[in-house]
Amino acid sequence: MEKISFIKMSGAGNDFIVINKDIYPKLDFNNIAVKKLCGRRNGIGADGLITIAGSVGQYDFIMNYYNSDGSTGSLCGNGARCAVRFADYYGITQNKSVKFLSNNVEYSGDILSEDLTRVNFNPPAIMKLKLDIQAAGQSIKCSFIDTGSPHVVININDVLKDPADKISFYNDLNSFPVLQIGREIRYLNDFSPRGTNVNFIKVLDKKVFIRTYERGVENETLSCGTGSVASALVAKYLYDLTPPVSLLTRGGDYLTVNFKLDGNEISDLSLSGPAKITYTGEFLYNKFF
């Protein structure tokens, strides 16, 4: 049985299996194999799987990202930061500032220090503020932003614990039912057919506290990069936080989102935070494919 080497990485608690595609150019992942590998009981365990291939063209590398359910097609912000760190650490590129492709979209990133990696985002494809949706037996105010992945952002102070009690708003993010309400909103017809990720925030002391239900993982993750970017933009537009915006994730790490505004034009949008290698290993090809 052929052994496949992998790296396990963490981007602020968002964890990924990372494989150097240059070593295994013929290795093609299907959704069944990805599900098995990302399984936390019988597999390696991860929120997603990333392959990185060096590029001989204008890009330093090409990143392919798979959610833990095997689905593809969206940007993973923390995964992209891990990819930048991986490419630097393993010599796929000698550059500390890189250009790369993910889903045939161009991005760039930077190694800022041993502890900080940054990915630069394109302006949001869609941004709709102050929408009303029906969920949890009530009307909830939210915003919808596509930062490479679709995201709903909700302030928990706008959600009632008891829909019959009009002053029973949530105040404690730690006890908020992220899984229950997040899963319901993820599948609402309002966001079909793609579905959406759902971020729940609390703004306090000029910081954003955030928890995220991730589409494709179908569970809460310890952090979400694209969701943090979406939430930081909401924090600026609706709560007047000045960039750079600091967000405290469920895993206890801070992510920083920076950007410039010229009227309603967003530029220089970036996500910075920790991206580290947690361990290396091997798996047997025939056990997962």
Q: Which residues are catalytic?
A: 76, 224
Contact 72, 111 (CB under 8 A): no
What is the C-alpha separation between 178 and 130, in angstroms, rounded?
Answer: 20
Pairing of strands 138-146, 3-11: unpaired
One DSSP character per residue, 50-113 reads: EEEEE-SSSSSEEEEEEETTS--SS--HHHHHHHHHHHHHTTS-S-SEEEEEETTEEEEEEE-S
- Burial of 289 (C-beta count, 10 Å sphere; 0-12/13-18/19+): middle
